[in-house]
Amino acid sequence: MHRIILADNQAIFRAGAARVLALETDLRIVAQVSDLDRLISSVQSFRAATVLFSTGLKPDLKVVLGVLKECGSRGILISEKGEPIPEAAAAELAGIIGRSVTAAELTECVRKVSRGQRCVQITQATSIQSQDIVGARVRDRLTPKEMQIVALIVQGCKNKDIAQQLGTKEQVIKNYLRSIYDKTGVSDRLELALFTLHHTILAEAAAKVGSLLEKRTA
């Protein structure tokens, strides 16, 4: 049984990855964390594990890699938007995947690294942008209000929280979500969040809207 630690600041991505990996009988998730301190603590508590951690945590790669090595664990870095990774750190990582990784790619990479192999699955951002016709189409179909809701869903907000932030009722948000599900072809909020994160153009649009909402409520 291979032990897995998930460390990501995006609750929806963390939940989605956990759901995917939990289906595999040879993989067991022993910890899910959302910040760097808990990541280090979990690595030290669960030694000889496969550790997925995102650049969104703003990790000092030299420090994290040192802790992983000390504890006999192997790290897979989740890269945001194809951002550059220092060559020295990249050489020491057991795996590198993009935020838009598919469920099959994620499972394959985790299993390879757990078995002592190396796995690098990074697609250049320019290639993703040029091929993301679906993401662009969905972005253009969503209304400004629907895009606000998508942005808050990706942040892990519940319907009640979204209603409070947007100054409306929870039932209104549910009505909006039905329309969003129809336009994106998903059936629930988790699938919606993963769909958004998988399509770079849509994810970037949601991130911009999310930043504007944060400034408004600050």
Q: How confident is the model at residue 130 (pLDDT cuts 50, 70, 90)?
A: very low
Q: What is the mean pLDDT of residues 203-215?
A: 84
Q: How confident is the model at residue 96 (pLDDT cuts 50, 70, 90)?
A: very high
Q: How confident is the model at residue 156 (pLDDT cuts 50, 70, 90)?
A: confident
What's the predicted TM-score (pTM) here?
0.66
Integer angstrom CA distances of residue 6 from 123, 181, 192, 204, 205: 22, 28, 20, 23, 26
What integer best gives the mean pLDDT of the chain?
A: 87
Which residue segments constitute the domains of the chain, with CATH numbers given?
Answer: 2-123 (3.40.50.2300), 130-217 (1.10.10.10)
Name which residue leads in pLDDT, 130 or 64: 64
Alpha carbon 195 to its chain's center: 11
Report the distance separating Cα 164 and Cα 170, nearest Å.
Answer: 8
Burial status of residue 216 (CB atoms within 10 A of its CB: 0-12, 13-18, 19 or more): exposed
β-bridge pairing 95-98 and 74-79: parallel
Q: How confident is the model at residue 81 (pLDDT cuts 50, 70, 90)?
A: low
Report the distance separating Cα 51 and Cα 39, nearest Å.
Answer: 9
Coil, strand or helix at 129: helix
Q: Residues 100-124: pLDDT tens digits?
A: 777 788 899 999 999 999 998 764 4
Q: Give yes or no for residue 31 having a pLDDT over 60.
A: yes
What does the pLDDT read at residue 48? Answer: 96
